[in-house]
Amino acid sequence: MARSRTVPIGEYAVLGDGRTAALVSRGGSVDWLCFPRFDSPACFAALLGGPSQGRWLLTVPDATDVRRAYLGESFVLQTTYTSPTGTALVTEAMPLGDERADLVRRIECLSGTVSVRHEWVVRFGYGTILPWVHHVEDREGHDTIRAIAGPDSLMLRGTRLPHGAGRAHVDAFDLAEGEVVELAATWTNSWRRAPRRLSVIDRLAETRQRWVRWARLCEYQGTHRAAVVRSLLILRMLTDEETGGIVAAPTTSLPEAFGGERNWDYRYCWLRDAAMTLDALLGYGYHAEATAWRDWLLRAVAGDPADLQIMYGSDGRRDLPETILEHLAGYAASRPVRIGNAAVGQVQNDVLGGVMVALESARAAGLHESTDSWSMQQHLVAELIGHWREPDHGIWEVRGQPQHFTHSKVMAWAALDRAVRAVEQHRLPGPLERWRAERAAIRLDVLTHGFDARRNTFTQHYGSAHTDAALLQMLQVGFLPPDDPRMRGTVAAIREELEVAPGLVLRYRADATDDGMRGDEHPFLACSFWLVDALARGDEVDEAGELLDRLIGLGNDVGLFAEQYDPVGGRMVGNFPQALSHLALVQAVHSHDRALARRAARRPSPAAPRADRPLLEE
């Protein structure tokens, strides 16, 4: 089996079916796929180990030019390979809406003759389990390769199947102009019969149509529509269509620093990220997704409010133990490779603030507030009142000592503020005076202990002398207005400390923050878009627009963003594609558009012509 180089993160595209997702490289290798759900064990794990840990390669190996794009506003990917002897087109997708788990691929020779390489290596259990692979007949009598181990079964069907070679199945063949090979991989439980064979070309067309219909619901028609719609599509693709849970990313352990230990599993639903995603979707007219997520939230947090977690499985489960996979070398030798996430047990007092902000946005958008939903919110606010004064681990889930993070206090204020609004503006029942008093107490606490008057900036945590990019969210939740000198000073201090290249912002200085980890990290793309948002809210319209264009330009060729960006190496870093990066992009565009509208409204109207003066001079 050929040894492969480490594929840059930005060279991957993503395919998804609303339950899981696959990463496919520009070179045609599916290097990451967890069937049947986002957080299931991977059957293709080459991304974190190498080809021997499982991959599905379909490529033209001697191609001198490779171009790819999604087919319209969809997740049907088309890649054109041009070789010295001909051109081929690969079209692939994960079909939607059929209660199946499939990945379909179609290669067609468009001109001349092309040589094709096909390799199918299945390893269940993140590359640890070598399955029993054998030929069977499916229910239509077609030859099928079936890999089975424990509860998992993966079948490969198509017009031409590879042959066994050691512990892989491989094939090499030529295609002449007009010739086509179609392939479909289907996951089922090992005790079930293979589902019926489906037309690949029909499933590709139907999948494209489903995505395009969803994208057409977007109410945005501005200059950044392509980036906004692609980001909204990513957020939708990362939403479990069955449960409504929104995962942070479809990958685990793509490193924040190459060769380092800052490697985390993001295949879960963070309440904070999901709430911000809900807010972003609402802003562009997607109300059904808001209702589905609220219903997911009710199920996930049901029970004692004191047991509220920062994250859950996409199905709402709470037990997410962190384990290290010792057998995997890690992406670019970045170890350890982790599954599960120990941060699930952390106290983060900011979480409820994001949830309450999103649910208030839903009410303002006209979504009916159910009795159960409001009751849940009342109980969660009551629980927050009892512990917001305690230190926590903060938005960035630092694994050092808990601190009184200023951002956490501000978001606790936001939770009380939205509870107050629910009573004042929506006539919902609640202890209004108690909530008003607690809101005022949090505000006073932040202004007293979280602000450095000497430097005219809010600080990362009480008693610290440095900032944190999360403080930019103070503007988003309305803690202070954008023209307040304290906020202008905070934005300036963040830029001075954390902006390492135009528009690219670190979360915090690793050398000044006890996060319990070794090494540094790269600029965080969500924080970078938050800076654009802050500048737009402060009516720094032109600079916000310039930085927005620069940041959008950092996306890869199919418009996807990872968690972080390395400006020196010019490459994506961290889990990919990252929901938080995409939703921050959407929010930044929204704020910039509003700033443009405000500026246009301030401009004086052209003077009306005098009635006695001809409109056109001869």
Q: 202-241 b/e with 16+ CB inside 10 Å = b?
A: ebbebbbebbeebbeebebeeebeebbbbbbbbbbbbbbe
CA 23 – CA 13 distance, rounded (Å):
6
Residue with tokens 């060729």: 557
Angle between helices 406-426 and 371-385 (to 10 degrees): 140
* Confidence at residue 605, expressed as pLDDT on a 0 to 100 scale: 64
* Confidence at residue 618, expressed as pLDDT on a 0 to 100 scale: 24
273-310 pLDDT, tens digit each: 888 888 888 888 888 888 888 888 888 888 888 888 99
Is residue 69 within 8 Å of residue 560, measured between CB atoms? Answer: no
Task: Name the average pLDDT for the chain.
Answer: 93
466-521 pLDDT, tens digit each: 999 999 999 999 999 999 999 999 999 999 999 999 999 999 988 878 776 676 78
Is residue 346 within 8 Å of residue 310, measured between CB atoms? Answer: yes
Residue 458 pairs in a beta bridge with 451
Least confident residue range of 113-122, 225-234, 510-519, 559-568:
510-519
State the SS3 of 535-584. Answer: HHHCCCHHHHHHHHHHHHCCCCCCCCCCCEEECCCCEEECCCCCHHHHHH
Sign of the dihedral defined by the CA atoms of residues 468, 474, 480, 485, in that order: positive
**Rg of the chain (C-alpha set):** 26
CA 513 – CA 468 distance, rounded (Å):
10
Least confident residue range of 12-21, 208-217, 218-227, 414-423:
218-227
Sign of the dihedral defined by the CA atoms of residues 391, 563, 249, 594, in that order: positive
| Of residues 536 and 6, more confidently modeled | 536
Is residue 396 within 8 Å of residue 507, measured between CB atoms? Answer: yes
Give the best-scoring range by mean pLDDT among 194-198, 226-230, 313-317.
226-230
CB contact set of 6 (below 8 Å; sequence gap of 6+): 331, 332
Peptide bond into 36 cis (omega under 30): yes
CA 103 – CA 235 distance, rounded (Å):
20
* Confidence at residue 417, expressed as pLDDT on a 0 to 100 scale: 98
Give the pair of three-digit tokens for residue 83: 């070789």
Q: Using the 8-state DSSP alphabet, how is residue 306 labeled?
A: G
Give the pair of three-digit tokens for residue 395: 């938005």
CA 586 – CA 582 distance, rounded (Å):
6
- Which ranges of 370-469 does DSSP label H, i.e. alpha helix? 371-385, 406-426, 432-449
Is residue 569 within 8 Å of residue 554, measured between CB atoms? Answer: no
Q: In the predicted model, what is the mean pLDDT of residues 253-263?
A: 91
Q: Using the 8-state DSSP alphabet, how is residue 457 labeled?
A: E
**Angle, CA of 194, 198 and 200, to the nearest 5°:** 130
Task: Compute the CA torsion angle 395, 400, 401, 404 (nearest 10 deg).
Answer: -20
In 250-357, DSSP assigns E strands to: 269-270, 311-312, 323-324, 338-339
Report which of 219, 220, 232 is spatially closest to residue 279, judged by C-alpha positions. 232
To the nearest whole percent, how much of the chain has pLDDT over 90? 80
Length of the chain: 618
Q: Is the pLDDT of residue 612 over 80?
A: no
| Per-residue pLDDT band at 139 (split at 50, 70, 90) | confident
User: Is residue 323 classed as helix, strand or coil in its secondary structure?
Assistant: strand
In 234-386, DSSP assigns E strands to: 269-270, 311-312, 323-324, 338-339
Residue 399 to residues 31, 269, 521, 576, Cα–Cα distance (Å): 30, 20, 15, 23
Q: Is the pLDDT of residue 230 over 90?
A: yes
Peptide bond into 336 cis (omega under 30): yes
Q: Is the pLDDT of residue 3 over 90?
A: no
CA 29 – CA 47 distance, rounded (Å):
10
CB contact set of 569 (below 8 Å; sequence gap of 6+): none
Return phi, psi of residue 121, to 5°: -125, 110
CB contact set of 431 (below 8 Å; sequence gap of 6+): none
| Per-residue pLDDT band at 4 (split at 50, 70, 90) | low
The region that residue 281 occupies, defined by phi over 0 for left and psi between -120 and 50 for alpha, beta otherwise, is alpha
| Per-residue pLDDT band at 1 (split at 50, 70, 90) | very low
Q: 243-269 b/e with 16+ CB inside 10 Å = b?
A: bbbbbbbbbbbbbbbbebbbbbbbbbb
Residue with tokens 């264009």: 549
* Confidence at residue 516, expressed as pLDDT on a 0 to 100 scale: 67
Return phi, psi of residue 32, to 5°: -150, 125
In 198-337, DSSP assigns E strands to: 269-270, 311-312, 323-324
CA 238 – CA 246 distance, rounded (Å):
6
Is residue 453 within 8 Å of residue 396, measured between CB atoms? Answer: no
- Burial grade of 491 (CB within 10 A; 0-12, 13-18, 19 or more): buried
* Confidence at residue 290, expressed as pLDDT on a 0 to 100 scale: 82
CB contact set of 537 (below 8 Å; sequence gap of 6+): 475, 482, 591, 595
